[in-house]
């Protein structure tokens, strides 16, 4: 398989891994509050949990990764690993693109936990990219849950699927509520690519 393959750009947190579920459990401990007191439906930044008066999101994130192995212990989102295996077997190149290195001084920890988690759940990938500008690495179709990432990718002309959660309900589709939806949307794009008709939201036909 080479760069002429169909490439699926996959975000991890909130798409493949249950980031918000894991963070909710860690935040309950960090805040010394009952788990049920923390809302499941949150916005980007987790302000609903009242973390700002305790140092804010960056401080909670640092604790979660360095002291509670966040990227190693979070559970996969239902059907994500199995669906990625199916897509990989069909010849789709999985390119993991994540912005997990946005905080300084513990990059090695974040990278190590990420690789171990992917291997532990047998999640196939050909490329693993840690970067903010996801459009810079290239993919035929992206899937992401972050509102800012989705908007930026679409502004760049990238065909992007929104993976639904409470942080992104305001975004227009195409949208996947489950990994069965992801599989269907990706295979539709893959079939278009194979026939040379894959378009990027009204742009000219995507080169094969």
Given the residues 11, 18, 144, 145, the one annotated as active site: 11
Given the residues 2, 13, 122, 145, the one annotated as active site: 13
Nearest of 74, 130, 70 to residue 98 by alpha carbon: 130
Give whole-number Cα distances, 167 to 92, 171, 192, in Å.
28, 9, 30
Contacts of 203 (CB under 8 A, 6+ apart): 157
Q: Any catalytic annotation for residue 2? A: no
Look at the alpha carbons of 24, 167, 179, 16 in this order and tell me if their dihedral is positive or negative.
Answer: negative
Q: Any catalytic annotation for residue 127? A: no
Measured between alpha carbons, how far is 6 from 139 in angstroms, rounded to an integer? 8
Q: Which residues are catalytic?
A: 11, 13
């Amino acid at each position: 398989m080479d760069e002429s393959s169909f490439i699926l750009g996959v975000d991890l947190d909130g798409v493949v891994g249950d980031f918000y579920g894991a963070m909710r459990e860690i935040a309950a401990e960090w805040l010394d509050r009952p788990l049920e007191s923390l809302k499941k439906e949150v916005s980007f930044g987790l302000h609903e949990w009242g973390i700002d008066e305790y140092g804010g999101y960056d401080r909670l994130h640092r604790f979660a990764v360095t002291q509670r192995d966040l990227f190693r212990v979070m559970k996969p989102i239902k059907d994500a690993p199995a669906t990625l295996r199916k897509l990989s077997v069909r010849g789709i190149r999985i390119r993991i693109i994540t912005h997990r290195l946005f905080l300084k001084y513990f990059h090695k920890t974040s990278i190590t936990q990420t690789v171990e988690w992917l291997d532990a759940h047998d999640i196939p990938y050909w490329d693993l990219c840690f970067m903010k500008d996801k459009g810079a690495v290239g993919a035929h179709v992206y899937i992401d849950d972050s509102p800012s990432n989705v908007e930026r990718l679409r502004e760049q002309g990238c065909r992007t699927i929104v993976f639904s959660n409470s942080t992104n309900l305001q975004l227009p589709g195409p949208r996947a509520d489950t990994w069965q939806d992801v599989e269907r949307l990706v295979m539709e794009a893959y079939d278009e690519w194979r026939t040379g008709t894959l378009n990027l939201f009204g742009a000219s036909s995507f080169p094969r």
